[in-house]
Structure 1
């Protein structure tokens, strides 16, 4: 492996990315300069095998890298995450002898950018159901109609992985997963992203009005509901672990800022001594550090288990959803403690800690949410609720 997370995302690059983050947030603008630098560095090809022009990273490598990137610019990391998820799915499948997404690796190696067009307003079934339709075509392709929300990388993606419900075929219903092109005239990207945090992701709504996926871009037709297909496992594992990496990175940066604030701020109550000598402040930082310390080894170990195809059997989904919730909830706690250490200046719009406070809130909205994760874990350990 010619580049590691630490050498590709070197300190100079991360500092340039960090200095731009506040401007993107203030202007509600896409991270265009960050994106160009990361693409030039080969970051979008991190999970693509070397024989397809990629870096050949493991999922564990990508998780560590996303932590580093999120520490500089959370919104940049979160948006790039969605492209990395699809290349992660392709890697998970290929590692297990399934080459159905080899076209995706080849195209990602050639510079195509993949968006994640799965989420739908009001669809709490996520991968197991869809409000969109997938209309079968005589040539084996499909036309998709529906609205996809939180489509990160909206200004930049060139391919969109999406899904819809086929109710017309003889074996219907089927959830059909396929990939459509940006230039399709039946794809419309709305300019509707104006949020409290993660603003630079520009995760705009995508309207599909009969958007076409050719037969060789239809990758799965699955029964609605929970499914053991490796494709679903690949999406779940890549999404949960890479998302967790982003929020773990936010927590790590918040803790750095809290330590700096404690050393910089002084107390009149304590004869002008720095707050780093105040027992209450020391407790808050220790509390945040204890929580933060647990995330990296857990994340890397679980990602390594995916890479090495460790068999966790029916506990896999419980472990992955638990990791995502643990990372996002821990990040919220660490940021909250850090803001309290940072003081009233963090309430101003230009504060980095204040921005992290807004950005970290997005973690509760990504699947798996707190409720579904607890249900998944309860089912894994206790079995489903009896009828």
Structure 2
């Protein structure tokens, strides 16, 4: 890892172009197509694919660093690309552990496929452990999916949707089915993404009406509920760590903007820049102390995934915990940055104003604060009685 150079995969000039476009996509509520085009051209969609298959051959630890860097330019772009990287990351978890079934995702990423994440459903707090989407078995071994998925990032551009549904018709039912579907007329994407922040992700609602997954794209059939299957660990580990990375990147950018502003603003009272004001210095130090804790935590857990460390049942506490700490930290840092920057940051044209709105989305991603605390309580106190 000592020789890893993030600028090789995300050059400074590319980041600056992405940063300039971010304000436009936020204001106009549009998808950052040019960002995706440039990232695809740079090979970013296949950073987690092994080099022998045409990818960059990076590990999750390196991808997490890159996602933090991308989020400093455009949180919405980083968050949307996250969902593609989750599936390529799960494919890497599979291949690293000798589990077959997701090689087509790795080949597809190199070929230019864009993978979206179709797991979230309105009111389904079981998340990975259950689904309200019907997965109907077909005679050829494939499945047809009918239901509604929410928060489908990359909605205007994805070519393959990785999703789950519940099979209640087979002899061994119920089974949770994880599969990938093509974009066809059986998939309707609603133009309903008009949100406070993360507007560029265009995470629209997706309606499925007998959307077909080919037999070779049916990845897993598992029992509903908590399950040790690699698909559950793969999704949970990559999803949580890359989410933590995006929000940690937001914090980094907010800290940088606060420092820049403090060094430029001058106090009429003292005649000195605000960087010499003891209260401002305390705020910036508080931000830095909070931020500095997260990158090494993310790196350590991502390296453990890459190196197949065995944390047993503690994995879920560790992963949900680092995601929760990252979003809490990021929100705190952005709050403080707004105060350091002063009233100018309240204007919608100010980058900090956008970061302030974007960072709020972190609390709504799994694991939410309630789930993270419940997982930690069970790990330390044991399960609830009865």
Per the TM alignment, residue 50 of structure 1 is displaced from its structure 2 partner at its CA by 1.1
Alignment-derived partner of residue 325 in structure 1 = 324
Alignment-derived partner of residue 187 in structure 1 = 187
Q: Secondary structure at the match of 1:99?
A: coil
Higher mean alpha-carbon deviation, 3-12 vs 80-89, is at 3-12
- Contact kept in structure 2, 1:4 and 1:61, CA below 8 Å: no
Alignment-derived partner of residue 104 in structure 1 = 105
Alignment-derived partner of residue 264 in structure 2 = 264
> Where in structure 2 are the equivalents of 1:216-295 lying within 5 Å?
216-270=216-270, 272-295=271-294
> Where in structure 2 are the equivalents of 1:114-153 lying within 5 Å?
114-153=115-154
Q: Secondary structure at the match of 1:309?
A: coil
Alignment-derived partner of residue 14 in structure 2 = 13
Q: Secondary structure at the match of 1:298?
A: helix
CA distance in 2, matches of 1:371, 1:232: 20
CA distance in 2, matches of 1:381, 1:52: 42
CA distance in 2, matches of 1:324, 1:72: 20
Alignment-derived partner of residue 204 in structure 1 = 204
CA distance in 2, matches of 1:62, 1:264: 34
Per the TM alignment, residue 376 of structure 1 is displaced from its structure 2 partner at its CA by 0.9
CA distance in 2, matches of 1:219, 1:118: 14
- Contact kept in structure 2, 1:163 and 1:175, CA below 8 Å: yes
Alignment-derived partner of residue 66 in structure 1 = 67
Per the TM alignment, residue 4 of structure 1 is displaced from its structure 2 partner at its CA by 4.1
Per the TM alignment, residue 273 of structure 1 is displaced from its structure 2 partner at its CA by 1.4
CA distance in 1, matches of 2:42, 2:145: 34
Alignment-derived partner of residue 381 in structure 1 = 380
> Where in structure 2 are the equivalents of 1:6-85 lying within 5 Å?
6-85=7-86
Per the TM alignment, residue 379 of structure 1 is displaced from its structure 2 partner at its CA by 1.3
1:80-117 Cα offsets, whole Å, 9 max, x none, are 00000000000011100002111111111111110001
CA distance in 2, matches of 1:8, 1:220: 32
Question: Normalising to structure 2: TM-score of the pair?
Answer: 0.98
Alignment-derived partner of residue 296 in structure 1 = 295
Give the 4+ runs in structure 1 shifted more than 2 A. Answer: 1-6
CA distance in 2, matches of 1:240, 1:301: 13
Per the TM alignment, residue 3 of structure 1 is displaced from its structure 2 partner at its CA by 7.9
CA distance in 1, matches of 2:124, 2:100: 29
Per the TM alignment, residue 5 of structure 1 is displaced from its structure 2 partner at its CA by 2.4
CA distance in 2, matches of 1:286, 1:96: 42
CA distance in 2, matches of 1:337, 1:185: 47
Q: Secondary structure at the match of 2:330?
A: helix
Q: Which runs of 5+ in 2 are unaligned?
A: none
CA distance in 2, matches of 1:312, 1:7: 32
CA distance in 1, matches of 2:249, 2:158: 24
Q: Secondary structure at the match of 2:384?
A: coil
Question: Normalising to structure 1: TM-score of the pair?
Answer: 0.98
Per the TM alignment, residue 269 of structure 1 is displaced from its structure 2 partner at its CA by 2.3
CA distance in 1, matches of 2:132, 2:125: 10
1:229-259 Cα offsets, whole Å, 9 max, x none, are 1111000000000010000000000000000
Per the TM alignment, residue 187 of structure 1 is displaced from its structure 2 partner at its CA by 0.6
- Contact kept in structure 2, 1:165 and 1:173, CA below 8 Å: yes
- Contact kept in structure 2, 1:3 and 1:55, CA below 8 Å: no
- Contact kept in structure 2, 1:119 and 1:150, CA below 8 Å: yes
